[in-house]
Amino acid sequence: MLRTRLLTAAVLLPAIGALVLFAPAWFFTIFNAIAGIWGLYEVAAMTGALHWVAVPLFAVVGGVPLFALLYDAPDLGFVGWLVTLIVILMMLGLVVRIELAGGGERFRGPRLVFMGAAYVGFLFPYFALLRNLPGGQYMLLLVILLAVISDSGAYFAGRYMGRTKLAPSVSPNKTVEGAVGGLIATVVGDWLLFEIIGGTWDMWRILLFAAIVSILAQLGDLAGSALKRAAGVKDSGWIFPGHGGLLDRTCSLVFALFFAYYWFQ
């Protein structure tokens, strides 16, 4: 039964994803908003804040930036990207804190709720912001493909050559060798992709973009793991059978999407 469900998910999810990706911009934006709300729900559940008292905090810290950025990010200008950058740095600070604490620290409470809500509220809109740029469907698809290549390259390099732990308290299976392998695989994959489709970027631009996406994808994955470690949970949710929650599936994308949106501006 479980094998059948996983096979069904493996077939249906990419098909549904393609339909959503190439749907009209308004539809994708609504889909992104719904996904953001679900992401806030997962944060509430994993941090133990799934009660009415926490609703105002989620509405202000997560909901307001989510819908403000989706509505018109350019009007927010400097403030929009600066606050989002601060949220990214805050999440990276959480990675450092969990690693230094040896992975044993749990601090469910207002701080973690605030951090998780801001993480979703400020970063999730960049799915739609990038997708809704001219040619944005292909830009978003490129970032997703490179993140997958980075993750796959890191997995295989770490499995066969991994010796040095990268952040054992945050993500015990990640290694320095794996991270380097993921970076190399992403750069090579991006170069091959542009060779196949006949892209117009010069070599250095291709290499730089791929390298930054790989680094941010791996840092985003660590940030997602740190959030779960701090909350004391294994998965962020259950929406993807056998693969966890929405935050589990998107943590390696959100930092990279923020970068890609401003790269393509």
How much is the pLDDT for 201?
Answer: 77
How much is the pLDDT for 166?
Answer: 94
How much is the pLDDT for 13?
Answer: 56
User: Cα separation of 94 and 17, whole Å?
Assistant: 31
How much is the pLDDT for 202?
Answer: 83
How much is the pLDDT for 6?
Answer: 40
CA distances from 27 to 32, 117, 233, 261, 262 (A): 9, 24, 33, 19, 22
For the record, the structure tokens of 258 come out as: 């923020």
How much is the pLDDT for 154?
Answer: 96
User: Cα separation of 9 and 29, whole Å?
Assistant: 23
User: Cα separation of 221 and 164, whole Å?
Assistant: 18
Q: Is 125 helix (H, G, I), strand (E, B) or coil?
A: coil
How much is the pLDDT for 9?
Answer: 44
Spans in the chain with pLDDT lower than 50: 1-11
How much is the pLDDT for 84?
Answer: 93
How much is the pLDDT for 10?
Answer: 47
DSSP states of 55-82: HHHIIIIIIHHHHHHHHHHHHHHHHHHH
Structure letter (DSSP) for residue 104: -
- Report the first-to-last Cα separation within the chain, whole angstroms: 46
User: Cα separation of 107 and 190, whole Å?
Assistant: 40
How much is the pLDDT for 125?
Answer: 94
